[in-house]
Protein backbone atom coordinates (compact mmCIF):
# COMPACT_ATOMS: atom_id res chain seq x y z
CA UNK A 1 0.00 0.00 0.00
CA UNK A 2 1.41 3.41 -0.97
CA UNK A 3 1.46 6.52 1.17
CA UNK A 4 -0.96 8.09 -1.29
CA UNK A 5 -3.41 5.23 -0.79
CA UNK A 6 -3.03 5.48 2.98
CA UNK A 7 -3.70 9.21 2.92
CA UNK A 8 -6.75 8.76 0.68
CA UNK A 9 -8.11 6.03 2.94
CA UNK A 10 -7.48 8.06 6.07
CA UNK A 11 -9.20 11.09 4.53
CA UNK A 12 -12.18 8.92 3.63
CA UNK A 13 -12.38 7.52 7.15
CA UNK A 14 -12.12 11.04 8.57
CA UNK A 15 -15.00 12.13 6.32
CA UNK A 16 -17.13 9.24 7.63
CA UNK A 17 -16.26 10.13 11.24
CA UNK A 18 -17.07 13.81 10.73
CA UNK A 19 -20.31 12.90 8.94
CA UNK A 20 -21.27 10.71 11.88
CA UNK A 21 -20.63 13.54 14.32
CA UNK A 22 -22.67 15.89 12.13
CA UNK A 23 -25.56 13.41 12.22
CA UNK A 24 -25.23 13.08 15.99
CA UNK A 25 -25.37 16.87 16.41
CA UNK A 26 -28.43 17.00 14.14
CA UNK A 27 -30.26 14.36 16.18
CA UNK A 28 -29.00 15.16 19.69
CA UNK A 29 -26.91 18.33 20.07
CA UNK A 30 -26.42 17.83 23.82
CA UNK A 31 -24.95 14.37 23.27
CA UNK A 32 -22.90 15.77 20.38
CA UNK A 33 -21.38 18.37 22.68
CA UNK A 34 -20.62 15.71 25.28
CA UNK A 35 -19.08 13.24 22.80
CA UNK A 36 -16.84 15.89 21.25
CA UNK A 37 -15.93 17.46 24.63
CA UNK A 38 -17.22 20.87 23.54
CA UNK A 39 -18.72 23.21 26.11
CA UNK A 40 -21.47 25.64 25.19
CA UNK A 41 -20.00 28.44 27.27
CA UNK A 42 -16.72 28.21 25.33
CA UNK A 43 -18.21 28.08 21.83
CA UNK A 44 -17.75 31.82 21.20
CA UNK A 45 -13.99 31.36 21.77
CA UNK A 46 -13.92 28.17 19.71
CA UNK A 47 -15.56 30.01 16.82
CA UNK A 48 -12.47 32.22 16.59
CA UNK A 49 -10.45 29.11 15.73
CA UNK A 50 -13.02 28.14 13.13
CA UNK A 51 -12.94 31.51 11.40
CA UNK A 52 -9.14 31.43 11.40
CA UNK A 53 -9.30 27.98 9.80
CA UNK A 54 -11.74 29.28 7.16
CA UNK A 55 -9.33 32.12 6.38
CA UNK A 56 -6.34 29.74 6.09
CA UNK A 57 -8.34 27.35 3.88
CA UNK A 58 -9.40 30.20 1.59
CA UNK A 59 -5.83 31.50 1.40
CA UNK A 60 -4.53 28.01 0.66
CA UNK A 61 -7.09 27.55 -2.12
CA UNK A 62 -6.18 30.94 -3.60
CA UNK A 63 -2.45 30.19 -3.46
CA UNK A 64 -3.02 26.72 -4.96
CA UNK A 65 -4.72 28.50 -7.84
CA UNK A 66 -6.97 25.66 -9.01
CA UNK A 67 -10.52 26.87 -9.78
CA UNK A 68 -11.88 23.38 -8.96
CA UNK A 69 -10.40 23.59 -5.47
CA UNK A 70 -11.77 27.11 -5.01
CA UNK A 71 -15.19 26.07 -6.31
CA UNK A 72 -15.35 23.08 -3.97
CA UNK A 73 -14.15 24.98 -0.91
CA UNK A 74 -16.56 27.86 -1.42
CA UNK A 75 -19.43 25.45 -2.10
CA UNK A 76 -18.72 23.99 1.34
CA UNK A 77 -18.57 27.50 2.82
CA UNK A 78 -21.93 28.21 1.14
CA UNK A 79 -23.40 25.06 2.65
CA UNK A 80 -22.29 26.13 6.13
CA UNK A 81 -23.54 29.70 5.77
CA UNK A 82 -26.91 28.72 4.33
CA UNK A 83 -27.41 25.91 6.86
CA UNK A 84 -26.65 28.33 9.71
CA UNK A 85 -29.03 30.88 8.19
CA UNK A 86 -31.79 28.25 8.09
CA UNK A 87 -31.15 27.25 11.72
CA UNK A 88 -31.32 30.86 12.90
CA UNK A 89 -34.31 31.73 10.72
CA UNK A 90 -36.30 28.76 12.07
CA UNK A 91 -35.46 29.92 15.59
CA UNK A 92 -36.66 33.46 14.81
CA UNK A 93 -33.18 34.90 15.29
CA UNK A 94 -31.24 37.25 13.02
CA UNK A 95 -29.93 35.22 10.10
CA UNK A 96 -29.05 37.69 7.34
CA UNK A 97 -25.26 37.71 7.94
CA UNK A 98 -25.18 33.93 7.50
CA UNK A 99 -27.47 34.13 4.48
CA UNK A 100 -25.18 36.75 2.94
CA UNK A 101 -22.05 34.67 3.66
CA UNK A 102 -23.69 31.63 2.11
CA UNK A 103 -24.83 33.54 -0.96
CA UNK A 104 -21.44 35.20 -1.52
CA UNK A 105 -19.68 31.86 -1.09
CA UNK A 106 -22.06 30.19 -3.54
CA UNK A 107 -21.46 33.01 -6.01
CA UNK A 108 -17.69 32.67 -5.75
CA UNK A 109 -17.99 28.91 -6.19
CA UNK A 110 -20.00 29.47 -9.36
CA UNK A 111 -17.49 32.02 -10.68
CA UNK A 112 -14.65 29.53 -10.11
CA UNK A 113 -16.59 26.79 -11.89
CA UNK A 114 -17.30 29.08 -14.82
CA UNK A 115 -13.68 30.22 -14.97
CA UNK A 116 -12.53 26.63 -15.14
CA UNK A 117 -15.10 25.60 -17.74
CA UNK A 118 -14.06 28.53 -19.94
CA UNK A 119 -10.39 27.77 -19.53
CA UNK A 120 -9.93 31.18 -17.94
CA UNK A 121 -8.07 29.87 -14.93
Provide the residue-wise pLDDT of the chain in tens; the chain has 121 residues: 999 999 999 999 999 999 999 999 999 999 999 999 999 899 889 999 999 999 999 999 999 999 999 999 999 999 999 999 999 999 999 999 999 999 999 999 999 999 988 765 5
pTM above 0.85, yes or no: yes
- The residue range of the domain holding 92 is 39-121
Q: Mark whether 73 and 110 lie in a shared domain.
A: yes
Q: Mark whether 90 and 120 lie in a shared domain.
A: yes
Q: How far is CA 62 from CA 58, 75, 110, in A?
A: 6, 14, 15
Total domains, the chain: 2
| CA atoms of 62 and 102, how far apart (whole Å) | 18
Half-sphere exposure at residue 23, Cβ-oriented, CA atoms within 13 angstroms: 6
Of 121, 58, 103, 101, nearest in space to 113 by CA: 121
Q: Mark whether 47 and 28 lie in a shared domain.
A: no
Of 80, 37, 32, 84, nearest in space to 57 by CA: 80
Amino acid sequence: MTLGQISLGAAGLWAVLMGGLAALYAVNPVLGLAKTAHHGEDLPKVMGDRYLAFAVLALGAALHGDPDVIAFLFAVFALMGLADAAIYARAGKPFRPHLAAGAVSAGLSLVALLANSNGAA
